[in-house]
Amino acid sequence: MPHDDHDHDHEHVHHEGMSPSGHPYRADQDEPLTYWQTMEIAVRELLEEKGIFSAAEIATAIGRMDARSPADGARVVAKAWTDPAFKARLMADGSAAAAELGCAIDALKLVVVENTADTHNVIVCTLCSCYPRNLLGLPPDWYKNRAYRSRVVKEPRSVLAEFGLALPDSIRVRVHDSTADMRYIVLPARPAGTEGWSEERLAALVTRDSMIGVGLPHAAA
Amino acid sequence: MPEITVRVKTWPSHGLHVRTPRYLRGKRGVIERELGRFPNPEQLAYGLPAPERKLVRVRFTMAEVWGAGAENPDDTLDAEIYEHWLEADEG
């Protein structure tokens, strides 16, 4: 160990490669660009030189993508909770209904799956990391992680319990694997005690995890 | 609507861009809904002409997918499968 000149007579245990709080540091990305990263930069610069698009337009597009957040999905959920006709349209054609609220789903199709008294839905993409980015923004790291992707299709109840959501056997669990062109969000059940609440107030109860299906909305305060 | 039972084909994919997960191959399920027609990703991913294929959502029971290893046999798993990966179930 490289700390031989140190006084080790302290109770603080310092693990190699760990932060003082005991978490691993993320490695710096000091390795050279990969073939595909180089290819992306080259193609992008060529397209800029040819005037197909400008660097500013790319920055704007990235900004637009980064601006999407679970607040968009929460607006859709709150609207469905308060407007039965909207909910019917949302269940029949998720993309068209989300577009009514200004959430374009682009080329992909949105399927909304509803939690009820006897059904709980949860979403995964086992093949890669398909995620309803238009409604929820960028996916959390764990969603792309191999452990979540491989385990939630095999032992969803154990995985949900690890998220703090223990479901009784009386509730049927439905796992949705986003294998192709659909994207999914869960329509969670409306929390009790929220009768008469405005859409805005309801939306504040809707969490990202409740729309992935690994959590529930906040309870009415 | 009567339930239509299908079986996922067991073709190998050899690292090609295939959207049919390996863990569902050979498994039987019922068509949950039809989704319309989409360009076949197996060609689209390589920039080839990609004829549209019918895409459906198939619902499997956990018992069917995982056998005795299922956590709860009556829970379900839905996945989107292209029609050319499905065959009629002969029972």
Q: Is residue A144 domain-shared with residue A114, that is, in the same domain?
A: yes
Distance from B22 to chain A by nearest Cα, in Å?
Answer: 9
Q: Is residue A117 domain-shared with residue A56, that is, in the same domain?
A: no
Q: Is residue A85 domain-shared with residue A152, that is, in the same domain?
A: yes
Under 8 Å between Cβ of A110 and A89: no
Active-site annotation holder among A19, A54, A69, A128: A128
Element (H, E) at B66: helix B62-66
Chains A and B form CB pairs within 8 A to the count of 64
Q: Is residue A80 domain-shared with residue A183, that is, in the same domain?
A: yes
ipTM of the complex: 0.96
Please state the domain count of chain B: 1
Distance of CA A36 to the CA centre of its chain: 26
Residues of A with CB under 8 A from a CB of B: 109, 111, 126-127, 153-158, 169, 172-182
Under 8 Å between Cβ of B42 and B58: no
Q: Averaged over A203-215, what is the pLDDT?
A: 98
- A22 occurs within a structural domain: no
Q: Is residue A73 domain-shared with residue A178, that is, in the same domain?
A: yes
CB contact under 8 A, B77 and A175: yes
CA A75, CA A213: separation in Å to the nearest integer?
Answer: 17
Nearest CA in chain B to A110: B35
The domain spanning residue B76 has which CATH number? 2.30.30.50
Q: Is residue A117 domain-shared with residue A153, that is, in the same domain?
A: yes
Distances from the Cα of B59 to the Cα of A150, B7, B74, B91, angstroms:
18, 11, 11, 16
Q: Is residue A79 domain-shared with residue A187, that is, in the same domain?
A: yes
A contacts of B21 (beta carbons < 8 Å): 126-127, 177, 179
How confident is the model over A92-136, as pLDDT tens digits? 999 999 999 988 877 679 999 999 999 999 999 999 999 999 999
Element (H, E) at B76: strand B76-82
How would residue B89 be classed by pLDDT, with cut points 50, 70 and 90?
confident
Q: Averaged over B49-54, what is the pLDDT?
A: 96
> Which one, of B60, B59, B53, B44, lies nearest residue B82 by Cα?
B53
Provide long-range contacts, Cβ within 8 A and 24+ apart, for A48-56.
Answer: none
Q: What angle do CA B6, B8, B11 make, to 5 degrees?
A: 150
CB contact under 8 A, A157 and B75: yes
The pLDDT of residue A24: 81
Q: Can you give the residue range of the structural domain that contains B73?
A: 5-88
The domain spanning residue A156 has which CATH number? 3.90.330.10
Task: State yes or no: is A128 an active-site residue.
Answer: yes
DSSP state of A1: -
The pLDDT of residue A5: 46
How confident is the model over A130-159, as pLDDT tens digits? 999 999 999 999 999 999 999 999 999 999
Distance from B75 to chain A by nearest Cα, in Å?
Answer: 5
Whether B68 shows a pLDDT value over 60: the answer reads: yes
CB contact under 8 A, B55 and A155: no
Q: Can you give the residue range of the structural domain that contains A57?
A: 35-66
How would residue A3 be classed by pLDDT, with cut points 50, 70 and 90?
very low
- CB-CB: which of A126, A155, A180 is closest to B82? A180
